[in-house]
Structure 1
């Protein structure tokens, strides 16, 4: 047997799965009994419109093929849904909306059997209600004996649903596959994203980006820019994925308490100096536009490097120095077009650091 065949055979043995057919009635009952967990962290819950949900119900009644779903078996035997959230939550909302805390789904937009429109579950004849409850969906169970890394990799590859997740959502969801260590890290990101000084400093982050967990991504981006500059190869998404993955798989040692202390101290200082104008471009003393990620990296990490030296400097001097520095030709050579290069990342960080040091060397 070749080494390639042996490598594949080894990995096949490391992930264990089982395929089952669950009826939708069983799925509703499992969820009601908390034996099937639907975590909204996996996908932005209920993105589907009522028309999309209605057409799924229509498809079930017409016995059209429904894609399989994936669940992961936790250590206590409870199933956790990791792919198929929109489909399963839509069926649960139709059959028993109360367990989701939602209003009953009223069918609409059914384009194959228009007579279904306007009906709730209880409005349907008994035979059709039973048809829905007894219809089954193929369920792939990722067994609890599977290695954490392969569970993690599997979730990333399963992100092929009708609504594509955004990068930080995928990272958070993937982290759950590594169980306690993964939950610990992404919970840490969420907690830091809720820090009051940080929230004020990034107030100019676009609403659409906040809805995509952009605030949590900025927390991760600070730690990556501070701790993993060597991993940056040009793609920000790959850089953040790689850095977070190395932490989850314990290839990098992330010191939670120290990092939390550093983060809180830094953003409390930046908030005091710059407030919600911290990471913007400037024209003279007037800020323009929204939060600029390259400016965010430079100002956060550049300031972190020298915070002990400048902590007692007049905040007005620090503010003016930052405003002046981001408008210099030197700083701008490290931002804008082509900014996603490691040397430019280092260049803009060091430009801020050196400019702030001038305040204590003057």
Structure 2
């Protein structure tokens, strides 16, 4: 029996239980110091607001201007975990008591409504303004522990997609926490693989900015997606990786951790030996140019993986020469240039590397 749209919506509404409260910033600081409100290190690392952005939030609160609500999730022991609103909460905590976050005290700057606030720290304010800050409240949505894990995951993903300062892999990692232990296990696995010495050597040319935004972990995910689920690719890399990771988290896709770890380590041990940090970059006249190119990463990593048994029976120099010859060929370049984000070109560039290694 098929449910009507109305019935499906009514059913889903009951699967997410929430409660909304107005909690003062003073209470939030007390909750945090008492470990009754958790900001996970995974989120804390994402504290990227400039001092001017933080200062203007403080100014807005002092002027009693409305600020957006925050979202927390209730853990099994009743402790709250902040999942959206990190910038706002951390800014206020840093201004009122920076030692709580092990940060430097915030000195206000860039306040344009009350310019006299600039260069002030919390202790420079009058008692009246200090109390106004502590007593000001923020609407806090609590996602109750009875809510289904998938819907908690979906809620976090939607809160942090579109106009967000978080990079795609950061969103994937944080939202996977909403699934619980299975989600934590998978993103911890990605982190551990990204720290593998041989892998790190091969992706040395990844920019520092991309590394700070978990680009190394995204490449690990991209390797497994290209290795195991090329058919999920529909032209958008972000959707492809989202869908692949979500399939694993929700157990729609099987993932053998031990076997995948073994395959990963075996491949990158070999690639680090024969290619080093030039494994995934463009070449001109056999010399590496530029930074890591994701399309080259997929092609070389998967192409070599598929032919690893053959490759290891050849000399390292022979295999390296074959790879360099292939990635500089016209056929390969046709599958990595503009418009390369198609399933056909993904398969073609991997095939180019395979055939190049297998050629006599």
Structure 1 length normalisation: TM-score?
0.96
Q: Is residue 68 of structure 2 the alignment partner of residue 63 of structure 1?
A: no
The answer (yes or no) to whether the contact 1:93–1:104 under 8 Å persists in 2 is: yes
Partner of 1:74: 75
Q: CA deviation at 1:163?
A: 4.8
Partner of 1:204: 205
Partner of 2:227: 226
Partner of 1:187: 188
TM-superposition CA deviations, 1:321-360 (whole Å, max 9, x none): 10011112222222212211111111111121122123xx
C-alpha distance in structure 1 between counterparts of 2:347 and 2:34, whole Å: 53
Moved more, 227-236 or 103-112: 103-112
The answer (yes or no) to whether the contact 1:84–1:161 under 8 Å persists in 2 is: no
User: SS where residue 223 of structure 1 aligns?
Assistant: helix
C-alpha distance in structure 2 between counterparts of 1:56 and 1:208, whole Å: 26
User: SS where residue 165 of structure 1 aligns?
Assistant: coil
Q: CA deviation at 1:312?
A: 3.4
Partner of 2:243: 242
Q: Is residue 276 of structure 2 the alignment partner of residue 275 of structure 1?
A: yes
C-alpha distance in structure 2 between counterparts of 1:190 and 1:54, whole Å: 34
User: SS where residue 177 of structure 1 aligns?
Assistant: helix
The answer (yes or no) to whether the contact 1:205–1:291 under 8 Å persists in 2 is: yes
Closer/same/farther in 2, CA of residues 292 and 230 from structure 1, 3 Å limit: same
Closer/same/farther in 2, CA of residues 127 and 73 from structure 1, 3 Å limit: same
Closer/same/farther in 2, CA of residues 222 and 97 from structure 1, 3 Å limit: same
Q: CA deviation at 1:289?
A: 1.7
User: SS where residue 96 of structure 1 aligns?
Assistant: helix
TM-superposition CA deviations, 1:20-44 (whole Å, max 9, x none): 1111001001111111111242375
Q: CA deviation at 1:2?
A: 6.8
C-alpha distance in structure 1 between counterparts of 2:155 and 2:189, whole Å: 23
C-alpha distance in structure 1 between counterparts of 2:163 and 2:353, whole Å: 43
Q: Is residue 176 of structure 2 the alignment partner of residue 166 of structure 1?
A: no
C-alpha distance in structure 1 between counterparts of 2:87 and 2:221, whole Å: 28
Partner of 2:260: 259
Partner of 1:339: 340
TM-superposition CA deviations, 1:162-206 (whole Å, max 9, x none): 752111111111111111111111111111111111111011112
The answer (yes or no) to whether the contact 1:83–1:161 under 8 Å persists in 2 is: no
User: SS where residue 233 of structure 1 aligns?
Assistant: coil
Gaps of 5+ in 2: none
User: SS where residue 336 of structure 2 aligns?
Assistant: coil
C-alpha distance in structure 2 between counterparts of 1:20 and 1:62, whole Å: 21
Q: CA deviation at 1:309?
A: 2.4
Closer/same/farther in 2, CA of residues 15 and 292 from structure 1, 3 Å limit: same
User: SS where residue 253 of structure 2 aligns?
Assistant: coil
Closer/same/farther in 2, CA of residues 292 and 161 from structure 1, 3 Å limit: closer
Query: Once superposed, which parts of structure 1, at least 4 consecutive aligned residues long, lie more than 6 Å away?
Result: none
User: SS where residue 14 of structure 1 aligns?
Assistant: coil
C-alpha distance in structure 2 between counterparts of 1:329 and 1:13, whole Å: 57
Output the aligned Cα RMSD: 1.6
Closer/same/farther in 2, CA of residues 245 and 163 from structure 1, 3 Å limit: closer
TM-superposition CA deviations, 1:207-231 (whole Å, max 9, x none): 2222221111110000000000110
C-alpha distance in structure 1 between counterparts of 2:9 and 2:163, whole Å: 30
Q: CA deviation at 1:292?
A: 1.3
Partner of 1:357: 358
Gaps of 5+ in 1: none
The answer (yes or no) to whether the contact 1:197–1:267 under 8 Å persists in 2 is: yes
C-alpha distance in structure 1 between counterparts of 2:162 and 2:96, whole Å: 22
TM-superposition CA deviations, 1:244-302 (whole Å, max 9, x none): 11001110011111111110110010000000010111222211222111111011111
TM-superposition CA deviations, 1:90-110 (whole Å, max 9, x none): 010011111100111112222
Q: CA deviation at 1:125?
A: 1.5
